[in-house]
Every structure is written in C-alpha cells, then in structure tokens.
C-alpha cells in the first residue's frame, strides 16, 4: 500500500463533564446511537460489546452509504482508550481505523478532553483533502454530539440514555 493513498487526522473536543460520565457513554460499542447522529440502528454481529466484537450499523439516509461493519479492536477502561476498525460496508471508508482517548482536562478536573485520531485509504477518484473533509465532518459531528449529551447529563436534564 502506498502511503500517498492514505490520510488521517486528529480531532479534539473538550467537554464540560467529568471523565467517568463521558467514558460511560463513549465506551458503549453496542450503542453508538446514543450520541452518533448518523446511526439509525446498531446490532452486534458477534461478541458482547467488548474487544473483538463486531457491530453492524445502519446509517441515516443523508449519507452516501446505508451500513457499516465495525470491529472493536481495543477497549481499555483504565486508560480510556477505544480503537475501532471498519471492516466492511457499502461506503468508501476503506481500511478506516480510529483511536479515541479520553482524559481529565489539565486545567479543570470536571472537564474531559476527547481526542479521536483516524487513518483511512483515499478512495480512487478522491483526493486526500476530500477524504479528510468527509471523515473530519463525521468525527467532528460525533464529538460535538457526545459533548452536548454529556453536558446535558451533568445538568440533570437527561437522566437516562
């Protein structure tokens, strides 16, 4: 594989909510719909939601795809790290792999910083910039949605998720 056909990016989101709360939402591989707006449904194909589990996600009709198969490669509750690979689907995110890390913000204990990095192949007919714009848009929306949900949970306006 030529590295010129691979791209990646790192996005950062600061959330006004404590790490345990944010991680409790983020780590739920079996329920990404809680905060990922582009997910219509999610069903585990194998596993129990832990490492090695595979989920099938159906996507909202606004995206140029209808489903994605994703594997949970790593879930570390002590380090707050989650690694996911897309292993199939009817989309153009080939060899997509993301690592999401959450940690307490240096300046304030009640804030959490979430960092999501990804690498993905650039599909034929697309540029690195186009591929990164698409992936950054999806990841950015997911991180903002995670922040909004977590902050609502802190303020008690959403007791269950």
Q: Give the pair of three-digit tokens for residue 88.
A: 């199939």
For residue 161, what pLDDT is reported?
44
Please give the model's pTM, rounded to 2 decimal places: 0.90
48-98 confidence digits (pLDDT tens): 999 999 999 999 876 678 899 999 999 999 999 999 999 999 988 899 999
Q: Give the pair of three-digit tokens for residue 77.
A: 């509750």
Q: pLDDT > 70: what percent of the chain?
A: 93
Please report the domains of the chain, with CATH numbers, ordered by start residue: 6-158 (3.30.530.20)
- Dihedral in degrees, nearest 10, Cα atoms 23, 115, 118, 136: 110
SS3 track for 97-139? EEEEEEEECCCCCCCEEEEEEEEEECCCCCCHHHHHHHHHHHH
């Amino acid at each position: 594989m030529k590295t010129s056909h691979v791209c990646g990016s790192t996005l950062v989101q600061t959330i006004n909510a404590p790490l345990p709360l944010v991680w409790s939402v983020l780590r739920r591989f079996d329920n990404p719909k809680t905060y990922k707006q582009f997910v219509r449904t999610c069903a585990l194909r194998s596993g129990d939601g832990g490492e090695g589990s595979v989920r099938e996600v159906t996507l909202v009709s606004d995206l140029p795809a209808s489903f994605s198969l994703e594997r949970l490669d790593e879930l570390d509750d002590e380090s707050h790290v989650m690694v996911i690979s897309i292993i199939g689907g009817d989309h153009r995110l080939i060899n997509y792999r993301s690592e999401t890390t959450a940690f307490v913000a240096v300046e304030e204990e009640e804030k959490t910083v979430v960092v999501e990095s990804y690498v993905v192949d650039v599909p034929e007919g697309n540029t690195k910039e186009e591929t990164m714009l698409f992936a950054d848009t999806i990841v950015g929306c997911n991180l903002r949605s995670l922040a909004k949900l977590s902050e609502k949970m802190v303020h008690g306006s959403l007791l269950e998720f």
